[in-house]
Structure 1
Amino acid sequence: MTLAMTADAPRTATAAPAPARSSFAIDVPASLLERARAGEHAAFEQLFRWFERPVYTLALRLCGDRDDAADVLQDTMLKVFGNLRSFRGGSPFWGWLRQVAVNEALQKLRRRRLLDDELPMGEHEFEDLAPPPAAAADAATLTRALLRLPPSTRSVLWLYHAEGYTHEEIAGLLQRTASFSKSQLARGGRRLRALLETPEEADRG
Structure 2
Amino acid sequence: MHMTGHSSFAIDVPDALLARARAGDRAAFEQLYRWFERPVFTLALRIAGNREEAQDVLQETMLKVLGRIGEFRGDGSPFWGWLRQIAVNEALMRLRRDKRLAQEIGVDDPSEYAEDLAPLPPAAADAALLQRALATLPTATRSVLWLYHGEGYTHDEIAALMQRTPSFSKSQLARGTKKLRAVLQVPEAAHA
Q: Report deviation, 1:119.
A: 7.3
Question: Deviations for 1:161-187, whole angstroms, at most 9, x for unmatched residues?
Answer: 111111111111111100010011111
Cα distance, 1:118 vs. partner? Answer: 4.7
What's 2:37 paired with? 52
Given the two structures, how large is their TM-score scaled by the length of structure 2? 0.90
Q: More helix by proportion, 1 or 2?
A: 2
Offset at 1:121?
4.1
CA 1:131–1:74 in 2, change beyond 3 Å: closer, same or farther?
Answer: same
Whether 2:165 is the aligned partner of 1:177: answer yes
Question: Which structure 2 residues correspond to residues 28-177 of structure 1 after superposition, within 5 A?
Answer: 28-90=13-75, 91-116=77-102, 117-118=104-105, 121-124=108-111, 125-177=113-165
Kindly report structure 1 stretches of 4+ aligned residues shifted beyond 6 Å. Answer: none
8 Å contact kept, 1:146–1:154? yes
How many equivalent pairs are there? 184
| Residue range with higher mean Cα deviation, 139-148 or 111-120 | 111-120
How far apart are residue 139 of structure 1 and its match? 0.9
- CA distance in 2 between counterparts of 1:127 and 1:49 reads 39
Q: Which residue of the partner structure matches residue 25 of structure 1? A: 10
TM-score normalized with structure 1 length: 0.85
> Where do 5+ consecutive residues of structure 1 fail to align?
7-14, 200-205
Measured on the aligned residues, the alpha-carbon RMSD in Å equals 1.7
- Decide which of 186, 189, 194 is 2:177's aligned counterpart: 189
1:124-156 per-position Cα deviation (integer Å, ceiling 9, x unaligned): 122332232221121111100000000000000
Contact kept? 2:41, 2:54, Cα under 8 Å: yes
